[in-house]
């Protein structure tokens, strides 16, 4: 029986040696109303790669037929793909399911199906198969930090295509941090005029720090972000925005010093945890409500991330405003003050029909009632939140941080954190054993995090993200027993797809010479 190297591995697949479907100039596509988006996507993507028109055909004239059937028992985002005797049928439980069926169909073609123009030689043969498939988790995410290094819009759109190719459905965009503010806020133009660029950037993690002496910056207009959101939505990806408060806010404070606790600051140039934090005055809260008002207009996502991570309490300990707030609100300490601050946004978001998402530090001092927790400092925060009845997204550093080094070899460029190999990503499970009996239903899924302090170009992002993202895709999509020995040969075929798509992944045997950063120290 032929085995097709699909990645992530589908739930059920049976292949046979009957004729499948050969795509030719006369191949037609038909889709019911809910599947129209995927028809257009197939025509655009496969049309470009194959040079075939893949025109719309009336139902019986179309060889490739797409439809939605909620009664087919396929489950959310699930699909059935049947290719036999000159026909390919995709039935999705919903329009997302149809899209994933089409992604699978593309993988059944030669890798050249991932190019943007035809080479002129391929035969576009789809094999005879029947596949029934659905994802294990509803949150299959990737967080991209566009604050530390700006990623041009064009590259974000490309990144979205790559997430969709791996059947991921959440792009968590980390839009603000100490070193840059990347989202246009019309009411506060200095956030981008001043906050979107810095004089220079730290290079590597040497102490004392070394700087490159080169300005860096960039931001997205609200129209850019609307375009990104719509492009992602057409690929069944939700863009979850993050505006990080009350720590990681130095770029905002550089733009509007009245938000801070101390002397004026510049946009951060150095990596790490910075002591500059927001003050807790009514005017700062009002400022951020106004910011979120604009953010909610651009991002329809149900989940809105307010960050909440790594907020040093030093400035609050000696701040008149902070200490007064602690007294007036009857709070025990600065941890409870941080919790109080986050709770203000929980109420704000809940009133507007959204849900607050925050890093697991939001557990300190008490979790806001509507909060969903992103568990990154290990799994403990996620376990505690799930046991307290909150939803959780898992991304513990040890298995989910794609800025961490890919091997123990000295040559890995700017090695930070612990070793996180492809095999390590593949072996991880989003549901910690502690929740296996009770609480697992609170785990919405998992995400990998791409922090870009040391990724200064999209090429470097490619190197750090791929192929580990392919392993992660199988972790969050496939319900079947994972088997690294089965994954690796499929990955070999998948790397050919990434090559065709122009992805500069890290080769399995180590970086290419131009992917090295000799002499630039990292940190463990």
The residues annotated with a catalytic role in the active site are: 177, 248, 310
CB within 8 A of 296, min separation 6: which ones? 304, 352, 354
We find the least distance from the C-beta atom of residue 222 to ligand ACM, in angstroms, to be 25
CA nearest neighbour of 308 among 373, 384, 239: 373
Residues 460 and 161: their CA atoms lie apart, in Å, by 17
In angstroms, the Cα distances linking 128 to 189, 219, 292 are 57, 47, 50
Considering the complex, state which of residue 224 and residue 310 has its C-beta at the smaller distance from ligand ACM: 310
Rg, C-alpha atoms of the chain = 24
Residue 160 near residue 235, CB atoms below 8 Å:
yes
Task: Give the tokens for residue 450.
Answer: 């791409």
In angstroms, the Cα distances linking 175 to 172, 240, 457 are 9, 10, 16
We find the least distance from the C-beta atom of residue 382 to ligand ACM, in angstroms, to be 13
We find the least distance from the C-beta atom of residue 324 to ligand ACM, in angstroms, to be 29
We find the least distance from the C-beta atom of residue 40 to ligand ACM, in angstroms, to be 37
We find the least distance from the C-beta atom of residue 450 to ligand ACM, in angstroms, to be 11
We find the least distance from the C-beta atom of residue 454 to ligand ACM, in angstroms, to be 14
We find the least distance from the C-beta atom of residue 310 to ligand ACM, in angstroms, to be 5
Considering the complex, state which of residue 230 and residue 273 has its C-beta at the smaller distance from ligand ACM: 273
Residues 260 and 316: their CA atoms lie apart, in Å, by 10
CA nearest neighbour of 138 among 347, 438, 372, 335: 372
Residue 79 near residue 97, CB atoms below 8 Å:
yes
Classify burial at 316, counting beta carbons within 10 Å of its beta carbon; exposed 0-12, middle 13-18, buried 19 or more: buried
Give the DSSP letter of residue 238: E
| Cα 74 from chain centre | 25
Select the residue whose beta carbon is closest to ligand ACM and give its number. Answer: 309
Q: Around Cβ 459, how many Cβ atoms within 10 Å?
A: 13
Residues 443 and 430: their CA atoms lie apart, in Å, by 8
Considering the complex, state which of residue 90 and residue 151 has its C-beta at the smaller distance from ligand ACM: 151
Considering the complex, state which of residue 172 and residue 235 has its C-beta at the smaller distance from ligand ACM: 172
Within residues 356-385, the interface with ligand ACM by CB under 6 A covers 359, 376
Give the DSSP letter of residue 245: E
We find the least distance from the C-beta atom of residue 359 to ligand ACM, in angstroms, to be 4
Residues 129 and 123: their CA atoms lie apart, in Å, by 18
CB within 8 A of 514, min separation 6: which ones? none
How many Cα neighbours within 13 Å face the side chain of 463? Answer: 25
CA nearest neighbour of 133 among 173, 90, 169: 90
What is the size of the binding site for ligand ACM (CB under 6 A)? Answer: 4
Task: Give the tokens for residue 332.
Answer: 């025990």
Work out which of 87, 310, 336, 493 binds ligand ACM, going by CB under 6 A. Answer: 310
Within residues 187-246, the interface with ligand ACM by CB under 6 A covers none
Considering the complex, state which of residue 271 and residue 292 has its C-beta at the smaller distance from ligand ACM: 271
Residue 402 near residue 450, CB atoms below 8 Å:
yes
Task: Give the tokens for residue 30.
Answer: 């038909």
We find the least distance from the C-beta atom of residue 386 to ligand ACM, in angstroms, to be 18
Q: Around Cβ 154, how many Cβ atoms within 10 Å?
A: 9
By CB under 6 A, is residue 288 in contact with ligand ACM? no
Considering the complex, state which of residue 308 and residue 467 has its C-beta at the smaller distance from ligand ACM: 308
Considering the complex, state which of residue 8 and residue 365 has its C-beta at the smaller distance from ligand ACM: 365
Considering the complex, state which of residue 29 and residue 278 has its C-beta at the smaller distance from ligand ACM: 278
**Residues paired with 358 in a beta bridge:** 373
Considering the complex, state which of residue 309 and residue 336 has its C-beta at the smaller distance from ligand ACM: 309
By CB under 6 A, is residue 309 in contact with ligand ACM? yes
Under DSSP, is residue 251 helix (H, G, I), strand (E, B) or coil? helix
We find the least distance from the C-beta atom of residue 395 to ligand ACM, in angstroms, to be 8
Residue 376 near residue 350, CB atoms below 8 Å:
no
Residues 370 and 343: their CA atoms lie apart, in Å, by 9
Binding mask 321-360 for ligand ACM (x = CB under 6 A): --------------------------------------x-
Full DSSP string of 174-202: E-EETTEE-B--TT-THHHHTTTEES--B
By CB under 6 A, is residue 161 in contact with ligand ACM? no
Residues 263 and 254: their CA atoms lie apart, in Å, by 10
User: Which parts of this chain interact with ligand ACM (CB under 6 A)?
Assistant: 309-310, 359, 376
């Amino acid at each position: 029986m032929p085995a097709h190297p699909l990645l992530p591995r589908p739930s059920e697949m049976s292949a046979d040696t009957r004729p499948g479907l050969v795509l030719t100039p006369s191949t037609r596509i038909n889709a019911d109303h809910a599947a129209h988006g995927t028809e257009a996507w197939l025509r655009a993507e496969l049309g470009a790669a194959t040079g075939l028109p893949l025109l719309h055909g009336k139902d019986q004239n179309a060889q490739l037929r797409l439809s939605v059937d909620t009664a087919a028992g396929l489950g959310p985002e699930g699909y059935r793909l049947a290719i036999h005797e000159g026909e390919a049928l995709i039935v999705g439980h919903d329009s997302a399911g149809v899209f994933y069926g089409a992604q699978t169909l593309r993988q059944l073609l030669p890798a050249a199906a991932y190019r943007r123009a035809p080479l002129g030689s391929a035969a576009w043969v789809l094999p005879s198969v029947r596949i029934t498939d659905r994802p294990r988790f509803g949150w299959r995410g990737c967080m991209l930090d566009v604050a530390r290094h700006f990623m041009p819009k064009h590259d974000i759109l490309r990144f979205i295509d790559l997430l969709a190719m791996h059947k991921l459905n959440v792009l968590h965009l980390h839009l603000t941090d100490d070193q840059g503010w990347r989202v246009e806020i019309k009411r506060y133009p200095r956030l981008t005029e001043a906050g979107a660029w810095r004089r220079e950037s730290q290079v590597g993690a040497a102490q004392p720090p070394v700087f490159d002496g080169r300005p860096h910056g960039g931001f997205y207009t609200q129209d850019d972000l609307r375009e990104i959101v719509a492009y992602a939505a057409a690929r069944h990806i939700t863009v979850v925005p993050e505006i990080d408060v009350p720590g990681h806010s130095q770029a905002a404070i550089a733009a509007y010093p009245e938000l801070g606790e101390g002397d004026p600051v510049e946009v951060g140039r150095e990596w790490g945890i910075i002591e500059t934090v927001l003050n807790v005055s009514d005017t700062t809260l009002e400022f951020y409500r106004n910011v979120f008002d604009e953010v909610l207009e651009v991002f329809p996502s149900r989940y809105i991330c307010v960050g909440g991570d790594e907020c040093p309490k030093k400035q609050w300990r000696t701040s008149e405003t902070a200490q007064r707030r602690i007294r007036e609100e009857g709070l025990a300490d600065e941890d409870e003050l941080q919790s109080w601050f986050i709770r203000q946004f929980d109420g704000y978001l809940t009133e507007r029909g959204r849900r607050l998402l925050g890093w697991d530090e939001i557990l300190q001092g008490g979790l806001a009632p509507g909060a969903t927790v992103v568990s990154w400092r290990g799994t403990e925060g996620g376990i505690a939140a799930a046991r307290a009845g909150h939803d959780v997204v898992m991304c513990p550093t040890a298995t989910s941080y794609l800025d961490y080094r890919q091997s123990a070899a000295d040559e890995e460029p700017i090695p930070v954190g612990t070793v996180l190999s492809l095999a390590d990503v593949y072996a991880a499970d989003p549901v910690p054993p502690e929740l296996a009996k009770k609480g697992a239903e609170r785990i919405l899924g998992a995400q990998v995090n791409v922090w870009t302090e040391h990724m200064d170009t999209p090429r470097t992002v490619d190197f750090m993200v791929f192929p580990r993202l392919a392993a992660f895709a199988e972790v969050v999509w496939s319900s079947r027993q994972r088997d690294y020995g089965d994954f690796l040969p499929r990955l070999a075929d998948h790397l050919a797809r990434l090559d065709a798509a122009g992805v500069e992944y890290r080769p399995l045997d180590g970086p290419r010479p131009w992917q090295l950063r000799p002499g630039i120290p990292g940190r463990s």
